[in-house]
A and B are shown apart, each in its own frame.
Chain A
């Protein structure tokens, strides 16, 4: 039963302390991550759910539970519904455009040979750069009086467009910046998908008579990119839902609340007005939306593995 430390070559005897050591090491190795996940993920989520049923306000000494009061307020809050619909509009424009353009760019870049690396670098550049800085540049470029885009529009003899002061245009101007920022990311994902398509599929299609550009696109490339397209659409949706930087830098939710999005409202309620209970309810709603998108992703990924 006792181990024999002197017996160096005797495996069973050594295996026992090794296994024990492995078990101890496993707890030791996992401990920091376990502690951190409890402090920075699990506890905050529990607290935010609790706070969403309270009238707590940062700095207040007394507070009480108010049931679903905050959620009831949320449902009837015009500014929340406005932010929700603005976000939905922004997401639908950014996702559709960045997925379609990402796919188009990937198909165009895929066959360019030596220049491929150069195009990859150019299209990926916005992803690697600071959106706060480039958001400022876009604000400047789209300025109604002094922006070069409007100089160009005026030079063509057209009416200048006040991109960020026109309530029916501002959200689309932000969406255009969102597409500019995201399209290279999606292109890279589609390129990875394109590389994964076996060459003999194209040869087989050519034998069957499908060898034109459009034939290849619609009969081979597009169907084979199905799983990638689903994945890119979902990650783009998650990214687009989290739009915040351009709103904070350029429009501050204006004009007339037309670019007020969920995260900007969440930020203001939490950290500018300190309406903690209400902001917590908003956080929970945001969490539920994001979890639902993730659930779609998990569901879709399950389907993909069988194909």
Chain B
């Protein structure tokens, strides 16, 4: 008994000098391997975007200035595609969708969280029901309706299905509910209108949730391919992912300009992500409150 115990304690005495650093080395070694796999496509995309298409195969990792074709590749992506216009279309759609989503969702969430009205339970039930509906389900009838109304190939068609967000209403309701009722009552007594209460008290208190939803919405609609593919078939109204898909299937496109185009449409979101990392991470974690 005693000798066994002694053995353990001497082992424990010796272990700390070596084991933790070894464990840390293994840990970081594994993480670096995974990180390399994750980053590889990004590295390849950028390398192919700045190099001559033939050079990328013979000598992929050299950055000999004489063999760089960044200007040619990017200018071809911007003129032949035209990626600039696609980016502008995406920006219009993303901003339009988010603005309407925030207005309708904040209002509805406030009504659900802090006001009382007939049909409140029913509305909340419908919001929960809508949360479970994948976006591809209403697509077909909505497409038929937009086609009948002659609204295909318009910004309105690109944006309309997303004006309602069950996720935003649900998320905001959960946050608005935590706001103290007494403060709202006091504000009413002080003569605040309901709109003032929302804008001056509720919204500022829920800014992290609103920011997290905003990055979530912007990412989803910047990257969306399914819906734009359905309602747009003219170049002038194509969003960035659809434009890139279209550019890829154009004849005689080499990998240099194609990778330059891919880099162009990926970079805005990556920049937003690097600047607002916290809200992305919070947005993901908030999906967990469902």
Contact = CB atoms under 8 A, between A and B. Distances in A.
Interface of A: 11, 14, 18, 21-23, 25-30, 32-34, 36-37, 40-45, 47-48, 51, 58, 101, 105, 108-109, 111-112, 115, 117, 119-134, 136-138, 140-141, 146, 148, 151, 180, 183-185, 188-189, 192, 213, 228, 231, 235, 238, 242, 244-245, 248-249, 263, 266-267, 270-271, 276, 279-280, 283, 286-287, 290-291, 294, 297, 301
B164 A41 contact: yes
Contacts of B104: 32-33, 36
B44 interface: yes
B144 to A, nearest CB: 6
A27 B107 CA distance: 10
7 contacts: A25-B115, A108-B31, A127-B219, A130-B266, A130-B269, A136-B258, A140-B44
Given A270-B143, A286-B136, A22 B194 contact: yes
A30 B117 contact: yes
| B42, B60, B117, B229: residue with the most chain A Cβ atoms closer than 10 Å | B117
Question: DSSP class of A's interface residues: helix, strand, loop or mixed?
Answer: helix
B117 to A, nearest CB: 4
Contact of B266 (A26, A36, A133, A188): A133
Interface of B: 23, 27-28, 30-31, 34-35, 37-42, 44-45, 48, 57, 60, 103-105, 107-108, 110-112, 115-117, 120, 123, 126-127, 129-134, 136-144, 147, 160-161, 163-164, 166, 169, 188-189, 193-195, 198, 219, 222-223, 225-226, 229-230, 240-241, 244-245, 248, 255, 258-259, 261-263, 265-266, 269-270, 272-274, 277, 280-281, 284-285, 287-288, 290
A48 B23 contact: no
A242 B136 contact: yes
Q: Pick the 6 closest A-B CB pairs, nearest first.
A: A44-B138, A33-B108, A36-B164, A26-B117, A26-B115, A128-B273
Contacts of B230: 267, 270-271
B262 A133 contact: yes
Given A33-B105, A43-B141, A287-B134, A134 B45 contact: yes
Nearest to A44: B138
Contact of A29 (B37, B139, B194): B194
A30 B134 contact: no
A31 to B, nearest CB: 8
A32 B103 contact: yes
Given A29-B108, A244-B226, A290-B134, A136 B244 contact: yes
Contacts of B137: 44-45, 48, 283, 286-287, 290
Given A109-B31, A112-B27, A141 B163 contact: no
B60 to A, nearest CB: 6
B225 A132 contact: yes
A130 B160 contact: no
| B120, B136, B229, B269: residue with the most chain A Cβ atoms closer than 10 Å | B136
B132 A249 contact: no
A141 B37 CA distance: 12
A104 to B, nearest CB: 8
Contacts of B31: 105, 108-109, 112, 119
Given A29-B111, A40-B142, A148 B244 contact: no
B226 A34 contact: no
B117 A23 contact: yes
A281 to B, nearest CB: 11
A80 to B, nearest CB: 16
A101 B108 CA distance: 39
Nearest to A249: B245
| B27, B160, B284: residue with the most chain A Cβ atoms closer than 10 Å | B284
Nearest to A32: B104
B27 A108 contact: yes
Nearest to B284: A188
Contacts of A22: 115-116, 188, 194
A128 B104 CA distance: 25
A42 B44 contact: no
Given A30-B123, A108-B31, A134-B45, A244 B108 contact: no
A291 B132 contact: yes
Contacts of A141: 40-41, 44
A123 B34 contact: yes
B41 A138 contact: yes
Contacts of A286: 134, 136-137
Given A132-B225, A235-B287, A120 B281 contact: yes
A151 B142 CA distance: 46
A211 B136 CA distance: 49
Contacts of A11: 189
Contacts of A37: 126-127, 130, 164, 166
Contacts of B244: 130, 132-133, 136
Contacts of B60: 148
A183 B45 CA distance: 20
A119 B107 contact: no
Contact of A129 (B131, B163, B245, B266): B266
B111 A133 contact: no
B38 A276 contact: no
A132 B266 CA distance: 9
Contacts of B57: 146, 151
A307 B60 CA distance: 54
| B123, B188, B266: residue with the most chain A Cβ atoms closer than 10 Å | B266
